[in-house]
């Protein structure tokens, strides 16, 4: 009895070892093949517990889940004979473990190399039939579908299924990228210049409209001001005419005094006119005693003048101007008519009764010295 008790644990251990040696398990994410002396016996194993013959049989397990092949960027040529650098990846899984083992020996590195060659071949074929514009925009989705089908067909001999092929990035070579960037920069600058030109055009249009409105406003304002000024001048003329008609002689005398004051107000003035001019009318007339200025010509002292050919010591008395001559030569306010050029200096006023002074130089029949 004691001997049985001693051998029981040993038997259990031996049974466990035998059971472990003749069985193997396949997980849900695995595929397996059975080899007998290096030859594939069976490759269709469902997940669970399976039996084998120790020493004669060998079990190979592989990952049955979807795996990713991330290839290195490769350079391809488009139909436009332009180089592009394509970075892609592929999704694949094992569907035939026996064929996979026979094609790759179960080596993951060899599998990646063989699958990468098939992916690059499909990319080269498809990119060689399309332009850059097509592969980056409109035909991109269609291109991915065609690539996936073509690579899956070529990879069937490896015992794997290609689920999807995707292009992550398409770049231009460094020597081409700079020229492309230059063209893009030039295009952006052209658009910017176009926008600036349109803005300048709009500014000029606004400025021209503002100038036009300013001109119209100023013209209307000038028109209104001239209208008001004309009305004012008409009113002033009416008032002056009324005042002139009330006493024409006094009004004429008052305007002549203002003309004298404006003309002889500063020294060094020069005038070229005739001595008989109506401008000197009140220098030649004598002030009336009874307040009537119509007889001033009878009371103003006469003026002596010297012709050019007469010596300076001689003098000649200038005859007084008649009232008929004065009436026939009306002189507007501030206007000095000239018939013969005479150079004269402004007289110096004394007591205001007729004026004193001399006029020298000049030429013509009235050139000479004039004195009281």
Q: Which CATH number covers residue 91?
A: 3.30.479.30
Let me know if residue 312 belongs to a domain.
yes
Q: Which two tokens stand for residue 347?
A: 């007289």
337 shares a domain with 219? no
199 shares a domain with 85? no
Sign of CA dihedral 120, 123, 124, 125: positive
Let me know if residue 11 belongs to a domain.
no
334 shares a domain with 263? yes
216 shares a domain with 301? no
Q: Helices 140-155 and 108-127: crossing angle, nearest 10°?
A: 140
| Segment 212-256, tens digit of pLDDT | 999 999 999 999 999 999 999 999 988 888 877 888 788 788 888
34 shares a domain with 74? no
Let me know if residue 1 belongs to a domain.
no
348 shares a domain with 304? yes
98 shares a domain with 60? no
Higher pLDDT, 76 or 367: 76
Domain boundary among 113, 142, 171: 171
| Segment 135-169, tens digit of pLDDT | 777 677 888 888 899 999 988 888 899 999 988 88
351 shares a domain with 259? yes
pLDDT recorded at residue 198: 94
Let me know if residue 268 belongs to a domain.
yes
Which domain does 48 fall in, by range? 20-64
Let me know if residue 54 belongs to a domain.
yes
142 shares a domain with 121? yes
Nearest Cα residue to 155 out of 87, 91, 206: 91
78 shares a domain with 47? no
Q: Are 311 and 369 in contact (CB under 8 A)?
A: no
315 shares a domain with 242? no
pTM, to two decimals: 0.46
368 shares a domain with 277? yes
Coil, helix or strand for 85?
strand
C-alpha 157/C-alpha 162 separation (Å) is 12
Number of domains composing the chain: 4
Domain boundary among 171, 196, 216: 171
| Segment 92-132, tens digit of pLDDT | 999 888 889 888 888 888 999 999 999 999 999 888 888 88
Let me know if residue 289 belongs to a domain.
yes
Strands (E), 16-82: 23-26, 30-36, 39-42, 48-51, 57-63, 67-70, 74-77
């Amino acid at each position: 009895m004691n001997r049985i008790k001693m051998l029981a644990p040993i038997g259990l251990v031996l049974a466990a070892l035998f059971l472990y040696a003749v069985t193997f398990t396949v997980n849900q994410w695995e595929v397996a093949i059975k080899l007998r002396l290096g030859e594939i016996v069976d490759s269709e194993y469902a997940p669970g517990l399976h039996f084998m013959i120790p020493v004669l049989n060998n079990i190979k397990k592989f990952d049955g889940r979807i795996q990713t092949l991330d290839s290195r960027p490769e350079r391809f040529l488009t139909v436009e004979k332009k180089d592009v650098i394509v970075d892609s990846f592929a999704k694949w899984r094992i569907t035939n473990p026996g064929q996979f083992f026979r094609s790759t020996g179960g080596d993951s590195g060899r599998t990646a190399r063989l699958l990468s060659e098939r992916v690059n071949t499909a990319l080269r074929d498809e990119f060689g039939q399309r332009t850059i514009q097509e592969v980056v925009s409109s035909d991109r989705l269609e291109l991915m579908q065609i690539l996936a089908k073509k690579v899956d067909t070529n990879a069937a001999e490896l015992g794997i299924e290609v689920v999807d092929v995707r292009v992550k990035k398409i770049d231009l070579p460094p020597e081409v990228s700079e020229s492309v960037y230059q063209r893009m920069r030039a295009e952006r600058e052209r658009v910017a210049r176009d926008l600036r030109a349109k803005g300048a055009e709009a500014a000029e249009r606004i400025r021209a409209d503002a100038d036009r409105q300013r001109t119209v406003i100023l013209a209307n304002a000038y028109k209104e001001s001239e209208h008001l000024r004309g009305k004012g001048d008409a009113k002033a003329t009416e008032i002056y005419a009324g005042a002139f008609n009330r006493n024409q002689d006094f009004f004429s005398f008052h305007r002549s005094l203002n003309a004298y004051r404006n003309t002889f107000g500063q020294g060094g003035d020069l005038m070229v006119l005739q001595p008989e001019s109506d401008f000197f009318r009140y220098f030649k007339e004598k002030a009336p005693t009874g307040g009537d200025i119509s007889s001033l010509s009878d009371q103003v002292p006469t003026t002596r003048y010297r012709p050019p050919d007469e010596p300076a010591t001689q003098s000649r008395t200038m005859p007084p101007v008649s009232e008929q001559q004065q009436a026939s030569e009306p002189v507007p306010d501030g206007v000095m008519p000239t018939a013969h050029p005479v150079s004269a200096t402004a007289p110096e006023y004394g007591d205001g009764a007729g004026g004193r002074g001399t006029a020298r130089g000049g030429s013509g029949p009235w050139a000479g010295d004039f004195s009281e």
